[in-house]
Structure 1
């Protein structure tokens, strides 16, 4: 089987890599991290002009990609450069759910997302949910011709900058049931919605979201009442593949920075990279990266397939990436020494991204449990 990129994906990868290598320096990122929004509007607009956002949507939805390998190609390059712009949250999560469930009026937002004019956030995780993606305690109750939302959402990435939030709420069923979950498209400035924002350790911003008698028309619902889980599961799988590919790109950067450092840092009159013990450690990192690449390819290739096999392979990839990522981050820091922890050095940010990526949607142990459950099903 040929795993080489198609000509179109190779062109996308090359153009994105050139753009980010020219524009996304460590100093530029540090300025972005200190900004109020947590991302650069200029870079966001240029990514849209390059077609990067469009590559994450199918032709039917107004893009030109949307397949698993389109996602992995884009996010590997974003991870390689340590990009903090919220493509995962705006395009894959928010945009993906609107594309999957929205009516014609709601889907008009997808075109604006692809053009870079609209930001989105997916308000789903809650204080008690941890990694249980089906646990939704926020309620949606019908009152006349309106729907009233009450509850709290935790660590909603990009909420402050979002023009609209896609909010999950339960209309029926137990707190952890997959049936009964609905999604609602809500303007950020809606009455009854309040945000408490903060910076994230690995870049970007998130917010705690309070829903206090937030009243919406029934037309704000995405899809049918209580029937959002299937679309959510598909979008979560795409986001997890993106996160795995992003981590893979970051692992490659961390290892390359380490290799370069070992070839320039001298001790006892010669580069420390000539010491066999250190060479072996770098070789181990390269082996881990190749295993991680195979896992990402496997997961991306199963995104359009059967739901059980899709989720099984995604869980396997996230488990492997989580374990390999920790090893790469820790060994890269150890081989560098103290300089690896300084904000002015590229590895400091890259290592944080690798470590923190594992904890979104489920850490390595959680992914292993999911894999075992799916294997036994």
Structure 2
């Protein structure tokens, strides 16, 4: 569970936005869809966030803000994405991406300026992408050349959220082409410096998903800015970027889980009111099973994101591994869930009017999470080279992961940016969760423990096989030209990390209700290699279905917390 103060803030924001299904609510789905159809920003939503002081969630408490825990930030951000992922991407994500760069690498003056800018309600933007290079930001052509006490900027930055609306931009630039690994820097450029003939705003890009986000760009031609714009030490841009991505690659997909929550809720409500074969569609066994699968997947995705967010506080040196796992796993899990729901809804999944109209927008917006910021292939390449060392150094010897990664009411140490590392250095407590969890299970008795043990034991065997496979990987199989079989090792690794997280989440929260054991058994059973579920007692599905329908009726969150939503 996130901290009490963050729970209160999330509840206050839920009340401010109200019930999105209410057609008279000016902050509800009806108005959100009107803006989406036009490709406009949801202005009423932005105004509500400004009045709430959403930017304070992005500013560390040392600078007057409310940011102390990453899972707190995610909890408040979920309230926004639950209604409109585009509003979250445009208002929260843009400033978060830029702000984290400053908190990690900026000097006191830069941090104070950014804190004051955000607290005053202004936006930040972050420019990494150049369309020609995609996610390979280190191939940047955009350059910053030192001339006296100034930097001369040349090149383009494209697909930047809020490029034309931001008070300041963080730009990734080539600053020294002679030094491999130290050729780039991050720059904090203020809007007041972006004037004159040397700076041209590029036209806005139109998109299929996240239509309300202002995606633009900036072209520079011998534009001059103060040399003090560099964040941190010149030449450390790539290193600092990889560290800041550890926060954002966890937080952004984690916030998007609430969009799938809404899609699942929308589907349940639709089926409840739909009559098929003379009875409510919710009574059809096949549809009930599909809904339960999506519910279990959604809780598992949320559990993984929560554990990884907390691990940055507890094991900051492992963030490079855990962040890549989250960005690798969550988009696939969330899109698999959305595709399943679309199959259930049929034609109602793409209608742009009526009670299910919000689904087609959510479908487009969630799909974007797989490519925004970084794609799956890039995450695979970030993980693959680390696997042999992880297998040799920690998978069999690491201690059990800390309880605070999973327990609902856990406290966390402060997030220390200076303890983040570019690689995991062979340490990985999340993967160790599976082996350690089975050791804890050995001392437990009862039907639930026996059920979970039967589901988890085959996964432990897979874990031992994976360790052997990873230690045997030759250097030639660890780069971008790795064979398909080597690349699939990452799939196996990510699946077992998810299994370990789910097992540990059950161990530390099993007193929260019968549904928790049913969920853990369902997820672990389906994660066994081969894809065929373990044979589970008949009451497992019934317990999960009852929990799902009850939460939808009571307006409660559909992830692990079950907290009230929509201002209830």
**Greater share of helix:** 2
Alignment of structure 1 residues 10-159 onto 2, 5 Å? 10-22=7-19, 24-33=27-36, 38-40=41-43, 42-85=44-87, 86-106=90-110, 107-116=112-121, 118-159=122-163
Q: SS of the residue aligned with 1:304?
A: helix
The count of corresponding residues between Structure 1 and Structure 2 is 372
Q: In the alignment, is residue 313 of structure 1 matched against residue 332 of structure 2?
A: no
Partner residue in 1 for 2:171: 167
Which deviates more, 179-188 or 287-296?
179-188
Aligned-CA RMSD value: 2.5
Q: SS of the residue aligned with 1:302?
A: helix
Partner residue in 2 for 1:277: 286
Q: SS of the residue aligned with 1:222?
A: coil
Distance 2:385 2:79 in 1: 32
Distance 1:230 1:88 in 2: 24
CA displacement at 1:178 relative to structure 2: 5.7
Distance 1:170 1:314 in 2: 25
From the CA coordinates, give the structure whose radius of gyration is larger. 2
Q: In the alignment, is residue 187 of structure 1 matched against residue 184 of structure 2?
A: no
Distance 1:284 1:36 in 2: 33
Normalising by structure 1, report the TM-score: 0.89
Partner residue in 2 for 1:330: 339
CA displacement at 1:175 relative to structure 2: 9.8
Partner residue in 1 for 2:464: none
Distance 1:253 1:92 in 2: 23
Distance 2:118 2:11 in 1: 23
CA displacement at 1:33 relative to structure 2: 3.5
Partner residue in 2 for 1:358: 370
Partner residue in 2 for 1:347: 359
Alignment of structure 1 residues 128-277 onto 2, 5 Å? 128-173=132-177, 177=181, 179-187=183-191, 189-191=194-196, 192-194=198-200, 195-203=202-210, 204-277=213-286
CA displacement at 1:260 relative to structure 2: 1.2
CA displacement at 1:136 relative to structure 2: 2.4
CA displacement at 1:284 relative to structure 2: 0.8
1:95-114 CA distance string (max 9 Å, x none): 22233334454332322312
Q: Which runs of 5+ in 2 are unaligned?
A: 20-25, 390-568
